[in-house]
Structure 1
Amino acid sequence: MVAVLSMDEDKATIAIIHQYGVEEVATIESGRTGKLYESKPNEKEYYGNIFSKIKNMDIPLVIVGPGFAKEHFASFIKEKGVKKYILEGTGHAGMVGVHEAIKRGIVERVAGELRVSREIKLVEELLQKIAKNDLVAYGKNEVKKAIDMGAVKEILITHEMVREEEQMLEKAEQMGAKVHVISMFHEGGKKLASLGGIAAFLRYAIH
């Protein structure tokens, strides 16, 4: 999932991009009535209202929109301690801007970067456990043995091996194991391949 904040000086729309579609979460109005106005709207109040809607979201945030409102808001949340977000320009704010970000591949790119980061983190965790002789198994024979014993909690497998090991993966999933398919197009996948292309985090020791 990725959160998209599509905003300008007048309004901000927050949407969450799920695998199954786009969910509009909230739209916040700035209170500004037009381009020619005497009193400047309370920018901090507007930004504060937006921030209150996104501060508890534990997913990547993409901020899009025309003009400089998104940059000003980014500075505002940086002062609040939020440092992880991506800024991208779009021609429109609101849901139109959200869909523009999707069509231009901005959301897909962020989701892809997140997926790669997660995969690399999983492989690094595996390597740390191997170094500590912790609850892991790697290589086809060891993982198969662990599955047969019902000891597997999670499986890491390179995408190249998935097809040839479908039956083994299905059996693992039936026993409650979670399967992570690791791409070979980054360092994590190459490290996993050097261990036989498949490994598992275990519920308990099998030796």
Structure 2
Amino acid sequence: MNKQELKTILRELKKWSAPATVLLSLYIPPGRPVADVANMLRQEASISQNIKLKRTRDAVESAISSAIDRLMSFNKVPDNGLAIFCGENFDTEEFKCYVFSPPEKITIYFYRTDKYFHTEFLEDMVEESEIYGLIIVERDQATIGILRGSKIEVLEEAEGFVPGKHMMGGQSQRRIDRIIEEMYDNFLKETGEKVNHYLLPYLEEGKLKGILLGGPGYAKKDFYDGEYIDYRLKKLIMEPLVDIGDQGEAGLREMVMKSRELLKSQKYVEVQDLMEELKFHLAKDDGLIIYGLEEIRKAIELGAVDSLIVYDEDNPELQKITQEAEKYGTKVYVVGDELPEAEWVKKTFGGAVGKLRYRIS
């Protein structure tokens, strides 16, 4: 199972809910004896006999029984462990039982019946593992965000109050200048504390690969030179610092694209560059753009598709195209609504558009 297949299953599991605790979630790490887990489930089945409501009792017993049946088809737990989700959708009376070994190792032994499936232990497996911190600092404004895969996420936008020029003279001028500088320093300190709060957890998880720092004026240099953030984060700030004019998400996007040389292999930059290439070839009408699911499928089989952008949605045809393209060595980018042009891919091209290595008839 690859990450995209897991993402599809998780999306389906999240749709399920129940008015009672009847949806079974079971995580089994590698090395755990199958017989031990089966015995635990049998004990839970025995306990479920005490449930008073017949509909709920029957649903729990069905989920546990199905989990045992699926589990006993394994001689041992696979190297990456097993995830089992069984239960009934009360609204449709549909019953499903998902059993699979995920793309990364399960490290937790967990069992629960609940009103929803517990997918949280698999969420990190479909997230991009590399994260870049993004910081924009002005004299009295700051934006903190992250770049993960093809997604830029704003974590916080902060505003302070630091006065500009004033008309005082003499001793009053020096006193007010000191007060203003203290207010400026305090704002940078507060910003640094927020950066530590948001980015240190990613650093400690080993996911934070670098930090971009930018802004319109001298504040970014003051922030970089001062002792405002944890020294471990400071080591990850990538140079040169970035001159940008905007705050918020627009500013973060501008900073990332101005740092494309520092982020050459990062997914967001690669997707944006590919988007620009596609628009260029589209404008030239040079035959190097491919769209339409059947046309893409044929081009993939010819080995003619260099790269492909696919909209991330519950569409079996798009998912099949993605799997076929990867088999033939095509570079595939699956993008969601976090990317501004994703809607363009979905509405204009039916969910997939690619660049050809050469023109085909």
TM-score (norm 2): 0.30
Q: Which has the higher contact order (CA 8 A, sep 6+)?
A: 1
TM-score (norm 1): 0.49
From the CA coordinates, give the structure whose radius of gyration is larger: 2
